[in-house]
Structure 1
């Protein structure tokens, strides 16, 4: 599949189709995640697959694979407060689903890892100006340097991504006075 496109869905939907309707977050059959299209012909996008993730996809970051025969997609989701959201998204949510997309067989795309980003719990949050780390809002990847940077709730993080399915935190920036993302 040439020219992959990965739209995020971060709200509960009736199914993974483009005609889905809104569903309550409490519905255990609701769908959220990433859809995969090929857009080599932008006038005729080709739907390949949808991959469901537990807390949906607020934003996501494609990480091109070496040799360009597969991509990884880092899915960013977070919980806005210290509570669970629906049956599939539980506090503390401190992980990123990683979807592996074989570009020659995109219908085989799947979540292959869900690493916990801050095993120590990350920023504990303090009152009304900072919040506990519960995931990342955005991640930017620099695959040529094997690095990614995350604006994570409560922490700014630098990741080593030489093994894209196993990102490792190599640095954290924390402002305990005013830093949310």
Structure 2
């Protein structure tokens, strides 16, 4: 430690001397270096060992507090990351359940429309036109879409002209 201190003081002294544009003999140079080293050592001696120790302890305490703060942040980030992971898993589970319900609802709706198609297909065109005329237009179009084309045209012929035109327009729009 002392050697390092002396070496650093020598370097500091030489840098100070380098700034001065004086030319020294070797003896003068050594003398000047020794004077500069002595000045630096005196400055260090003037600071008591207890002051230096106190400075070191203060710096160590600051480092320790900073490390604790960083550790708390890291722990907090881990907790937040775990919470986020759990929420993401819960969200995925809810999404799968929701999509499952939507899919099941679509399948059930298609099944009900299929049953209505079968029912309407077995009716006479006059009776089928009466039933479809009062049915929800979207459902009526879905049913007509799945019925044989000849049967659908006969049903359209027996319907009221306004209702028939409305359903045919919707039917054409669904086909596109």
Q: Decide: shared fold, TM above 0.5.
A: no
TM range (shorter): under 0.3
TM-score, with length taken from structure 2 = 0.21
Bigger proportion of residues as strand: 1
TM-score, with length taken from structure 1 = 0.21
Please identify the structure whose Cα radius of gyration is greater: 2
Bigger proportion of residues as helix: 2
